[in-house]
Amino acid sequence: MAGKSRESDEVVWFGPRERTATVLLVMVMVGGTLGFMATEQWDAWDSLYMTLTTITTVGAEHVSRAGQMLRAVLILCGVGTAVYASSVLLTLVIDGRLYDRLERRRRRRMIDDLTGHFILCGFGRIGRIIANEFQHRKVPFVVVDRDAESCTEAMELGLLAVSADASNEDVLKRLGIERARGLIAAVGTDAENVYTVLSARLLNPKLFIVSRAESDESRRRIERAGADRVISPYQIGAVQLAQTAIRPAVVDFFQLATSSANLELNMEQVPIASGSSLDGQTIAQASIGQRYGVIIVGIQRADGKMEFNPSADSRMNRGDKLVVLGRADSLRVLESAAAQPVGPA
């Protein structure tokens, strides 16, 4: 459940070879500077300058016999050290490792800035479809998958991705689970999904968690682990096939209303905030249809009960969620009215 992360918390700028080369070069520079200060009675700058000209074999100045001996040692040791350090640092740039580390640092900062986002665990066939839907709807999210190739593919698509174990609590913390809006567990096996959901629920009891399940038994286990919703792709696919065969026009309508590619019509849920202009109003009093140009399909009450096709006298209260159908711009206006508290008169 708490496997090791494949990506460390901090970006390692220099590996062992780079650190060794840097330390050796600094030692030569410091040793040469101190040596010339002692043998020639020069100040620090002149001594450092002489050390640089010596190890780079550029120019020469008259020095005492002790200074000549020091220069000989620097030429034998320092030149080799400088060449080694230069080759190591150039290799770091040429083979792309420096770019990779800069990219990891940029990705780390972007993840730290995320808030109200989703954590998508798994970038398989289902994870790719979810990511595509999130992209179309401009929903902030980050992908986590233990398969490095899947993460590389996600990053090539311009997504934030981390190659790590999604059930690892440290990984979930790095992905900002305390600030997240929700988590989707769509990793390879039901057992992994159970551990992922359990870890996420322990870290954030208020997090909205959705998970996939292959069987009814796994569904019950994942629900007990703390998932708010458990989806079986096979069951949904079978029901979709049956409904399409029986009532294709109805299925076409809902696909049109819920598709992220549709720009004309959208179906959304709009939460009613406390103190907003809709809080405590009936549908008729708020003139939802006339003012916002949307259709209220249903109201999910704060206790979870769903009221379909509500009447004009139905009252909207804080904590309720309106299931509405309308144009994207109209829905945004309605969402703003449902979220902003009314100021004092």
Distance between CA atoms of 170 and 324, rounded to whole angstroms?
39
Closest CA to 164 of 329, 8, 333: 8
| pLDDT (0 to 100) of residue 62 | 65
Distance between CA atoms of 29 and 275, rounded to whole angstroms?
68
Would you state the structure tokens that stand for residue 322, as one six-digit string?
Answer: 């309106």
Give residue for tokens 């009215």: 337
pLDDT of 261 over the 90 cut? no
Residue 262 — pLDDT band, cuts 50, 70, 90?
Answer: low
For 99-158, the pLDDT digits (tens) are 566 677 777 888 888 899 999 999 998 999 999 989 888 899 999 999 989 988 998 888
pLDDT of 92 over the 70 cut? no
For 184-211, the pLDDT digits (tens) are 999 988 999 999 999 999 999 999 999 9
CATH superfamily of 263-339: Regulator of K+ conductance, C-terminal domain (3.30.70.1450)
Distance between CA atoms of 92 and 232, rounded to whole angstroms?
47
Fill in the amino acid letter for 170: D
- Lowest model confidence (mean pLDDT) among 16-25, 69-78, 132-141, 308-317: 69-78
Closest CA to 260 of 117, 138, 97, 88: 138
Domain boundaries, the chain: 1-113, 115-231, 263-339
> What average pLDDT does range 33-46 have in this prediction?
85
Which element (helix H / strand E) includes 44?
helix 44-55
Whole-number percent of the chain with pLDDT over 70: 81
CB 185 within 8 A of CB 193: yes
| pLDDT (0 to 100) of residue 282 | 92
- Please give the CATH number for the structural domain made up of 1-113: 1.10.287.70
Would you state the structure tokens that stand for residue 89, as one six-digit string?
Answer: 């640092």
In this structure, the number of other CB atoms found within 10 A of the CB of residue 310 comes to: 17
Distance between CA atoms of 227 and 219, rounded to whole angstroms?
9
pLDDT of 10 over the 60 cut? no
Closest CA to 302 of 268, 335, 274: 274
Distance between CA atoms of 270 and 321, rounded to whole angstroms?
5
| pLDDT (0 to 100) of residue 275 | 87
Which element (helix H / strand E) includes 161?
strand 161-163
For 145-199, the pLDDT digits (tens) are 999 899 889 988 889 999 999 999 999 999 999 999 999 999 988 999 999 999 9
> What average pLDDT does range 51-66 have in this prediction?
69
Select the CATH number that applies to the domain covering 115-231 from these four: 3.40.50.920, 3.40.50.2020, 3.30.420.10, 3.40.50.720.
3.40.50.720
Q: What order of strands is seen across the sheet that includes strand 208-212?
A: 161-163, 141-145, 118-121, 182-185, 208-212, 229-231
| pLDDT (0 to 100) of residue 9 | 43
For residue 338, CA distances in Å to 24, 132, 173, 322, 341 come to 64, 28, 31, 10, 8
For 214-240, the pLDDT digits (tens) are 888 888 999 999 999 999 888 888 887
Closest CA to 30 of 64, 81, 68, 65: 81
For residue 250, CA distances in Å to 134, 245, 294 come to 24, 11, 19
pLDDT of 325 over the 60 cut? yes
